[in-house]
Amino acid sequence: MSRVECNERLNCGVIGLGWWGKVIIRTLAASQKIRVVAVTDIQPTAAEWARSQGLRFLPSFDDMLSDTAIDAVVLCTPHSLHTQQVIAAASAKKSVFCEKPLALTLADAHRSLAACQANGVVLGVGHELRFTPPMVTLSEWLRAGKFGTLVQTEATFTGLVTHKDNNWRLWEKEAPGGPPMTGKGIHALDLCIGIHGAAERVHASLHASTSDVKISDTLAVLLSFKSGANGLITALWSSPFSNRITVFGTEGWAEIRDKAHPERADGWTLTTCMRDERVATVAFDPMSPVLANLEAFADSVLRGSPYPISSSDMLATAAALEAIGKSATDRAIVPVEPI
């Protein structure tokens, strides 16, 4: 048996100690399956913060990859760095959990998956909303055909987001489709693809909500899926928090609403209406979908369990994201490259 197979918990290193990297570290403190053994970041204050948390700080990403005590890495880094970092980590025989989006183009997503497959390591992606209890329940119903033929999914992901002008999330090269797409809409896109499969074409509309806003903060996307269904995604940085996804079928519909951001999940409601029946709502208690995703990744590395997000879905999301970016720029309907 290898050292990884013998460990009770997966030893991981976290790359990137910004807002979300720190959320990941705090979240993993409660895990019995995966633990943070080292961290790194390029910011001068990062080492001091790491020491304050009792964490071992490594000077660079290369030091992380050469450290034999680390079995996997968690990437909380700018989007444009993901592909080269995934490939480097896989080449060092370390499994990779990459924050969303996995890649900004389909070609780069293929490169990342190929590197992980060639080196026999697991690739996970930070699409934690697949792991909420109502989404798990809804997915089971969809597989059973509960709602008949699926005709449309509508997802609205909003939140008032304030970043300083120098924050990389606002840079054009990091945000195809605008910051609302890579910040919030990417979750809606992943869920839609998990429900309907690969998209065939997209039409995106992106603009600033007011003349006072420096970035494009309002996005609407129409997707046509190969299955024949439609998808409508609204991603806003111009309105208070709302995470909502509704699936419509010929026999009924279902809607999931989040009560709070996944960073501090506060439970969900799942509302359904079946043909000739009344609307019914069920409440789900809080849990951490972020932790559930990371622990599913750990189970895949340590025990060989299938990671719940398939390679084909990862590729389909990257392909649709790339097309959305082009559509928003060209103000046109854009075909999605086949995966």
- pTM value? 0.95
* Encoded amino acid at 13, one letter: G
pLDDT of 60 strictly over 80: yes
pLDDT category at 171 given cuts 50, 70, 90 is confident
CATH (one of 3.30.360.10, 3.90.1150.10, 1.10.3720.10, 3.40.50.2000) for 129-292+318-335 = 3.30.360.10
Half-sphere exposure of 256 (CA within 13 A, CB side): 25
Please give the span between the terminal C-alpha atoms of the chain, in angstroms, as a whole number. 36
Q: Is residue 7 pLDDT above 60, yes or no?
A: no
For residue 99, give every residue at least 6 positions away whose Cβ sits within 8 Å of its Cβ, in sequence order, or none.
Answer: 20, 74, 75, 76, 77, 82, 125, 126
What's at 267, amino acid-wise? Answer: G
Strand partners, 331: none
Residue-level pLDDT at 3: 43
Per-residue pLDDT for 309 more than 50? Answer: yes
User: How far is it, in rounded angstroms, from Cα 60 to Cα 70?
Assistant: 14
Q: Tell me the CATH architecture of domain 3-127.
A: 3-Layer(aba) Sandwich (3.40)
Spell out the residues 6+ positions from residue 157 whose beta carbon is closer than 8 angstroms to its own.
184, 185, 187, 188, 233, 234, 235, 236, 242, 243, 244
Q: Where are the domains of the chain?
A: 3-127, 129-292+318-335
Q: What DSSP element (H or E) covers 288?
A: none
The stretch 280-300 carries a mean pLDDT of 98
Q: Mind listing the pLDDT tens digit for each residue in 319-339?
A: 999 999 999 999 999 999 999
pLDDT at 181 over 90: yes
Check pLDDT > 70 for residue 6: no
What are residue 95's phi and psi, to 5 degrees? -65, 155
Name the 3-class secondary structure at 220: strand
State mean pLDDT over 163-171: 79
Over residues 194-209, the pLDDT tens digits come to: 999 999 999 999 999 8
Per-residue confidence (pLDDT) for residue 1, from 0 to 100: 34
Q: Any idea which of 5-14, 176-185, 271-280, 290-299 has the lowest mean pLDDT? A: 5-14
Which of 30-44, 158-172, 178-192, 220-234 is least confident? 158-172
Is a pLDDT exceeding 90 seen at residue 240? yes
Instruction: Judge contact between 230 and 222, C-beta under 8 A.
Output: yes
The answer to whether residue 96 scores a pLDDT higher than 70 is yes
Which pLDDT score is estimated for 332? 98
CA gap 172, 168 in Å, rounded: 9
Arithmetic mean of pLDDT, 75-91:
98
Question: What is the residue-averaged pLDDT of the chain?
Answer: 95
